[in-house]
């Protein structure tokens, strides 16, 4: 008779580790993440509302994507990986008598990071599509030039304090009056 030996697997216990925001977000404690070991948290992505990090209610419609890259002393450190508007907010902004101009393109920063930039803007009135094309081309050339001149961390700082939005709006207003400008998404491209 063959005896069956059943080995009981030892239950592994999960632990809680503190997640820390990147320098661009003032290294704030974001919360805790549960994992078997600290190394298991590496390469995990977190999608967080920017309002909860900055305590600014004006930024409640922005989602920030952070990626855990380093672990030490029971803390998981993150880097900025992306920025996007909530889809419900975009639907709320869309109006009947305004022209919606969207564009998506890739730029490369001074330190060699490729970024996918998605721009969304609304004109004050309905216009010809030729104005939309001119606005798209002007914004694309400006963003390409800006990215080539600045480091990734500087661009993130401009993005989070809305000054990049203001600069884009000023450029677009020279072509046709623009009501509102948003950077719909700002992501690091996979290489």
pLDDT digits (tens, 9 = 90+) for 143-190: 999 999 999 999 999 999 899 999 999 999 999 999 999 999 999 998
Q: What is the dihedral of CA 20, 23, 27, 33, to 10 degrees?
A: -10
Give me the pLDDT at residue 190, please. 80
Average pLDDT over residues 82-87: 93
| Count of domains observed in the chain | 2
Q: pLDDT band at 95, cuts 50/70/90?
A: confident
Please state the rounded mean pLDDT for residues 52-74. 92
φ/ψ (deg, to 5) at 186: -150, 95
Q: Are residues 103 and 33 in the same domain?
A: no
For the stretch 130-145, pLDDT in tens is 999 999 999 999 999 9
Does residue 30 form part of some domain?
yes
Scored b (16 or more CB within 10 A) or e, 68-79 reads beebeeeebbbb
Q: Which domain holds residue 26?
A: 15-85
Which of 135, 133, 140 has its CA nearest to residue 105?
140
Distance CA 79, CA 64 (A): 11
Angle at 152 between CA 41 and CA 190, to 5 degrees: 55
From 85, 114, 146, the end of a domain falls on 85
Q: Say if residue 103 is in the same domain as residue 181.
A: yes
pLDDT at 130: 93
Across all residues in the chain, what is the average pLDDT? 90
**Residues 52, 63 contacting (CB under 8 angstroms):** no
**CA–CA separation, 1 vs 115, rounded Å?**
66
- Identify the residue whose tokens are 């974001």: 30
Q: Flag whether pLDDT at 9 surpasses 80.
A: no
Q: What's the pLDDT score for residue 188? A: 93
Helix, strand, coil in percent for the chain, rounding step 5: 35, 35, 30
CATH number of residue 124's parent domain = 3.30.479.30
What separation, in Å, do the N-terminal and C-terminal C-alpha atoms of the chain show? 58
Residues 77 and 156 in one domain: no
**Mean pLDDT on 85-110:** 90
pLDDT of residue 97: 81
Separation in Å, CA 89 to CA 40, 77, 113, 166, 189: 34, 30, 28, 19, 24
Identify whether residues 59 and 101 lie together within a single domain.
no
Q: CA nearest 106: which of 51, 6, 43, 186?
A: 186
45 pLDDT more than 70 = yes
Beta bridge partners of 77: 20, 70
Taking 50 as the threshold, does the pLDDT of residue 1 lie above it?
no
Q: What is the pTM of this model?
A: 0.84
Residue 73 DSSP label: T
Which of the pair, 12 or 132, is modelled with greater confidence? Answer: 132
Sign of torsion over alpha carbons 59, 48, 84, 99: negative
């Amino acid at each position: 008779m063959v005896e069956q030996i059943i080995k009981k697997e030892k239950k592994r216990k999960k632990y809680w580790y503190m997640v820390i925001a990147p320098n661009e977000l003032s290294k704030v404690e974001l919360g805790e993440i549960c994992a078997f070991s600290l190394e298991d948290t590496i390469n995990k992505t977190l999608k967080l509302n920017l309002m909860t990090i900055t305590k600014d209610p004006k930024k409640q419609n922005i989602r920030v994507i952070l990626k855990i890259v380093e672990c030490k002393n029971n803390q998981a450190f993150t880097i900025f990986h992306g920025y996007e508007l909530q889809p419900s907010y975009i639907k709320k902004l869309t109006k009947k008598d305004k022209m919606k101009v969207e564009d998506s393109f890739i730029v490369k920063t001074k330190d060699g990071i490729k970024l996918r930039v998605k721009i969304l803007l609304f004109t004050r009135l309905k216009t010809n599509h030729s104005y939309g094309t001119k606005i798209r081309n002007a914004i694309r050339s400006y963003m390409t030039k800006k990215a080539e001149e600045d480091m990734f961390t500087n661009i993130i700082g401009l993005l989070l304090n809305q000054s990049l939005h203001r600069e884009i709006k000023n450029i677009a207003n020279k072509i046709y009056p623009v009501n509102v400008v948003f950077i719909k998404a700002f992501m690091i491209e996979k290489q």
